[in-house]
Amino acid sequence: LTDSGGFQMVSLLQFATITEEGVRFISPHDGTEMMLTPEESMRVQNCLGADIMMALDDVVSSTTEGPRVEEAMERTLRWIDRCIEAHKRPHAQNLFGIVQGGLDPALRERCLKGLKERNLPGYAIGGLSGGEAKEKFWKIVSQCAAGLPNDKPRYLMGVGYSVDLVVCVALGVDMFDVFIQVEQQDLEQH
């Protein structure tokens, strides 16, 4: 599984400018610029040969509110079309779309509907685990998992606390990725 680079829009926001074209990052080390577009993300992931590739999405922090959340969700739907068009190995590599919409159930529903219309091999639930209350987190995971096809993988991005894994499997999630346990183990060893 490879990620598209979308998470860096949140983690490196002070070094990024997001436009319809893509995301322009400025290196915090040497000031060089890099443009990440849906097409470039697909090119890199195709070259890596991953079995599962994530579409480039416009990610905002889960605690963000207001018009920026809707803008990001709508751009995510436009970018999935560019990712599909740029994907060179659809029979060998599975492209997953990422459900966005913050903590707004109506925006999540619109994104779910838009992604399902594209009939992708699998789907990810993104934009969570950014400081929101557990009850809100579980409510959005429940909505998204229930709204996605039962016969296709449902992947919850960036989640790994033990209780979250158990609850989210019960809610219908099939796959996870996380660095929390590794990070915690590193801290405990030092």
**C-alpha span between 170 and 177 (Å, rounded):** 17
- DSSP assignment of 103-134 equals T-HHHHHHHHHHHHTT--SEEEE-S--SS--H
Catalytic residue among 30, 51, 58, 177: 177
**C-alpha span between 147 and 129 (Å, rounded):** 20
Residue bearing tokens 């992708």:
120
Q: Assess whether 57 carries a catalytic annotation.
A: no
Is 24 exposed, middle or buried, given 0-12, 13-18 or 19+ CB atoms closer than 10 A? middle
Catalytic residue among 3, 57, 58, 164: 3
At a CB cut-off of 8 Å and minimum separation 6, what does 90 contact? none
For the beta carbon of residue 117, count every other beta carbon within 10 angstroms: 10
**C-alpha span between 25 and 8 (Å, rounded):** 9
**C-alpha span between 188 and 190 (Å, rounded):** 6
Q: Assess whether 177 carries a catalytic annotation.
A: yes
Catalogue the active-site residues.
3, 177
